[in-house]
Amino acid sequence: MTLFRRSLVCATALVSTLVSMPVRAAEPAPEAKGAWLDASQSPERRADAAVTAMTQAEKLQLVFGYYSNEAPWMSNGTKRFEAPAAGLPASAGYVPGVARLGIPAQWETDAGVGVATQGTPKPRLRTALPSGIAIAASWNPGTAFAGGAMIGNEAYLSGFNVQLAGGMNLTREPRNGRNFEYTGEDPLLAGTIAGNTIRGIQSNHVISTMKHFAFNAQETNRNHVDVKIADKAARQSDLLAFQFAYETGDPGSVMCAYNRVNGAYSCESGWLLDEVLKQDWGFKGYVMSDWGGTHSTVAAATAGLDQESGWAFDRSPYFSAALDEAVNNGHVSRTRLDDMARRILWAMFANGLVDHPVRGDQSASIDLADHARITQAAAEDSLVLLKNDGLLPLARSARRILIVGGHADFGVISGGGSSQVYAAGYRQFDEPLGKAVYYPSSPLKGIASRTKATVTYVDGHDAKEAARAARKADIVIVFATQWTAEGLDTPDLNLPGQQDALIGAVAEANRKTVVVLETGGPVVMPWLDKVGAVVEAWYPGTSGGEAIARVLTGEADPSGHLPVTFPASAAQLPRVRIDGDRKLDELDDPHPHTDYDIEGAAVGYKWFDARALKPLFPFGFGLSYTTFSSSGLSATPEGKGLRVSLTVRNTGRSAGSTVTQIYVAPVATLAGWEAPKRLGAYAKTELQAGESTSIALSVDPRLLATFDPASKTWTVKAGAYKVMAGDSADHIIATTTVQLGQQTLDVRGK
Ligand code: BGC
């Protein structure tokens, strides 16, 4: 699917010739009083009872999804697509229910930062959280949960009961255009943050997905690129992240990815869907395809795909009449069709979709003021102070503040694609890679309302004009934006357009320059030595401007830490250029490849550690306006893993939050460890000036182990292990050693 589809508006209705349209939900008949409607029964028993009561046609209806919008290209010589009338306008999808049995339809919406809208000039207007990478930068599971609960509530009140959230592909490629939707490069951090967002969403009788399963780490040729990765490396990296998210969030659904993995499309990979997810981890929910990610009937159903999504994007309606035929002629067993339906029903019962059905559009009752507070708090928790030569918080003595660029007089940028949330008062501005949606939360207005200084603005299009204005200012704040979006990767790690030159020119004119970055992921900073302060604000959501103003003026402490490594240059990456680019491929290879075995499980900081590369900013890095110390680090074996304790203290003069990062490593080099150390545990703690507290954390044994694909076990080898407290992956403050006995864990880490 291309970005193209996002801008298409409803076209003329076409008559479907291949797919019978779903019957509109009517009042449930008396037979709907079956055991499956008994809320005192377990979701398993209810799902069993419902499957037993269903006809084959009804089961088929559950496994086949529609797009809730239309475009002319969705009908062609081989297919006719008509958006069902019962779907919600301009939304991602619709799956009819079984009214006869009281099973509601599934109304699906994107995605991880809020309730999105697709392809209409009149989008629904909702609250947007900071991007996924920002939530990960908070290192705060509580923030992730609160945000998830908030967007799940908006989804429910908008009439949606399935939210296509939980995006968490590890950042193997810092130029990936969708990094902003995901939760960084470390399995523990990415998995627990995404898991908590999922848990929050699902606290609203809304199913959340976890996606894109798996290894969808680039947009370039995403529909076909074949990712090569060995089982062991996969289980110790991206799959471990998904495993943590699954255990934390218990998502009702998993969305399989566009790309191929080791030869098979993700949505046809028996290894990923059946073996890893369902058998090894025990996932009881259903696998839905990404939109356009289903490529077959028998192969997909056999491999473990349970529901074809938004079939308009596929070449054919694979899970409609073709699946009926395959079941009838035995190519797909009736047991398997039952299993597909049972999994969908289980997720619906387990998450309350049947007992607490959505009641259409109730959006007038969304508590927007409360949600603005939640998204603002999340933004404040996720802003990362990368450099500060004393310019921040902004001095009260400043008389003239100049603000440059980034549409900071209007608001803050957001990321593009299917996850796009529109908010009241939004505007679109042209960016080098496309049209970006900006939310009307102006950092300039937020700063101006908190200072007695005169605040002026230049838009930054003319670097000379900006430099002239900078000379007359006491302090300059440059807002630099990088629009990234689904469907395209960034061409390099630089800020787009002329922004690097603009910052250079302004900093040349006035060293008291603060740079606020609003980017989708890592960027390089050729001007870093010349500026006095840098704040990474990511895409900060619908109250982001207010959050930035509070942090810059010192009303709030910047307490975010990087969930990704910022490389010094693309030359440091496992792949200097992204594979699979059709334009660069001389033969226009129909089966493009990329080799993730180059780094294997050594993703992000682990790659940098293993190769002794110095990044621009390391994973875990983030400054504060106050200072912290830690003492008394100790570690003891606990169960099959470790218990770590230490005391943290706020040694500065203002309140702030510290992120405790515990890294673990074998003392002697152990075979099978992908890198010198791994993040073993983390915690975020808010402390008043002078306050201290003791912290106790558990390290999951899988983070001390290596995986053996043959026996499907994790092994912690006997020996001495270093347990390190650090304030980034590059800066260890304290180390202790602990002796561990040999441990064997099953595939679920038990
Ligand atoms: C994206 C998914 C999204 C789906 C439905 C696809 O293009 O990859 O993340 O949920 O569309 O809009």
Each residue's pLDDT tens digit, 695-727? 999 999 999 999 999 999 999 999 999 999 999
Q: Which of 67, 220, 291, 294 to mutate to test the pocket of ligand 1 (most atoms within 8 A of CB)?
A: 291
How far apart, in whole angstroms, are the C-alpha atoms of residue 207 and residue 251? 7
Which numbered atom of ligand 1 lies nearest the CA of 487? Answer: 7
Sheet holding 286-289, edge to edge: 66-68, 91-95, 106-109, 162-163, 207-213, 253-256, 286-289
Q: How far is CA 169 from CA 40, 238, 446, 490, 502, in A?
A: 37, 7, 34, 17, 33
Q: How far is the CA of 595 from the centre of ligand 1 (A)?
A: 24
**Strands 713-716 vs 678-687: parallel, antiparallel or unpaired:** unpaired
Retrieve residue 743's tokens. Answer: 């441990």
The rounded Å distance from CA 501 to ligand 1 centre is: 35
- Spacing, Cα 303 to ligand 1 middle (Å): 21
The per-residue pLDDT for 78 is 83
For residue 258, the ligand 1 atom closest to its alpha carbon is 8
Query: What does each C-alpha distance from 21 to 65, 85, 326 come to in angstroms?
Result: 11, 10, 20
Ligand 1 centre to CA of 188 (Å) is: 24
| Residue 349: per-residue pLDDT | 98
Task: Say what the pTM is.
Answer: 0.96
Cα R_g (the chain), whole angstroms: 26
- Give the contacts of 243 (CB within 8 A, at least 6 positions apart): 191, 281, 748, 749
β-bridge partners, 707? 714
Strand pairing report for 434-439 and 454-458: unpaired
Residue 549 Cα to ligand 1 midpoint, Å, equals: 33
| 3-class state of residue 216 by DSSP | coil
Q: In testing the pocket of ligand 1, which one of 113, 164, 309 has its CB within 8 Å of the most ligand atoms?
A: 164
Distance 683 CA to ligand 1 centre (A): 32
Give the distance (Å) from ligand 1 centre to CA of residue 478.
33
Q: What is the C-alpha separation between 448 and 546, in angstroms, rounded? A: 11
User: Strand 427-431 and strand 412-413: pairing?
Assistant: unpaired
Helices then strands (H, E): number in the chain? Answer: 17, 30
How many angstroms is it from 428 CA to the middle of ligand 1? 21
- In angstroms, rounded to a whole number, what is the distance separating the alpha carbons of residues 661 and 26? 54
- Ligand 1 nearest-atom number relative to CA 216: 8
Residue 310 alpha carbon, nearest atom of ligand 1: 5
Best probe residue, ligand 1, of 418, 419, 420, 486 (max atoms within 8 Å of C-beta): 418
C-alpha 210 to ligand 1 mean position (Å) = 12
For residue 212, give the ligand 1 atom closest to its CA: 9
The residue whose CA has the least distance to atom 4 of ligand 1 is 291
d(CA 202, CA 191) in angstroms, rounded, equals 16
Measured in Å, residue 113 CA sits from the centre of ligand 1 at: 13
Q: Residue with the nearest Cα to atom 3 of ligand 1?
A: 418
Segment (H or E) for 59: helix 56-62
Identify the sign of the CA torsion 498, 504, 506, 508: negative
Whether 536 contacts 517, CB under 8 Å: yes
Joined together, the tokens standing for residue 55 give 């006809």
Write the CB contacts of 626 (distance below 8 Å, at least 6 apart in sequence).
557, 650, 651, 652, 653, 654, 655, 656, 689
344-348-354 Cα angle (round to 5): 135
The residue whose C-alpha atom lies closest to atom 5 belonging to ligand 1 is: 92
| Closest residue to atom 6 of ligand 1, CA basis | 291
Give, using CA atoms, the residue closest to atom 2 of ligand 1: 290
* Protein residues whose CB sits closer than 6 Å to any atom of ligand 1: 1, 92, 110-111, 164, 211, 290-291, 418
pLDDT tens profile 646-662 = 999 999 999 999 999 99
Pocket test for ligand 1, best of 212, 290, 307 (most atoms within 8 A of CB): 290
Residue nearest to atom 8 of ligand 1 (CA): 290
Closest ligand 1 atom number to CA of residue 181: 9
What's the 628 CA to ligand 1 centre distance in angstroms?
A: 42
17: Cβ contacts below 8 Å, ≥ 6 apart: 80
Strands (E) in 470-576, as ranges, are: 475-481, 513-518, 533-536
Ligand 1 centre to CA of 493 (Å) is 25
Alpha-carbon span 520 to 131, nearest angstrom: 8
Q: Encode burial over 319-328: b for 16+ CB neighbours within 10 A, e otherwise.
A: bbbbbbebbe
Ligand 1 centroid – CA 258 distance (Å): 10
Q: What are phi and psi of 158, to 5 degrees?
A: -90, 0
Question: Which helix (H) or strand (E) segment is 154 a member of?
Answer: helix 141-157
Question: Considering only CA atoms, which of 523, 656, 548, 669 is closest in space to residue 610?
Answer: 669
Atom of ligand 1 lying closest to residue 110 CA: 10
Atom from ligand 1 closest to the CA of residue 164? 10
User: Please, what are the domains in the chain?
Assistant: 16-27+50-365 (3.20.20.300), 383-553 (3.40.50.1700), 628-745 (2.60.40.10)
- Residue 135 near residue 197 (C-beta atoms within 8 A): yes
CA 653 to ligand 1 centroid distance, Å: 46
Tokens at 622, concatenated: 């983030």
Residues of the chain with pLDDT under 50: 1-18, 23-26, 30
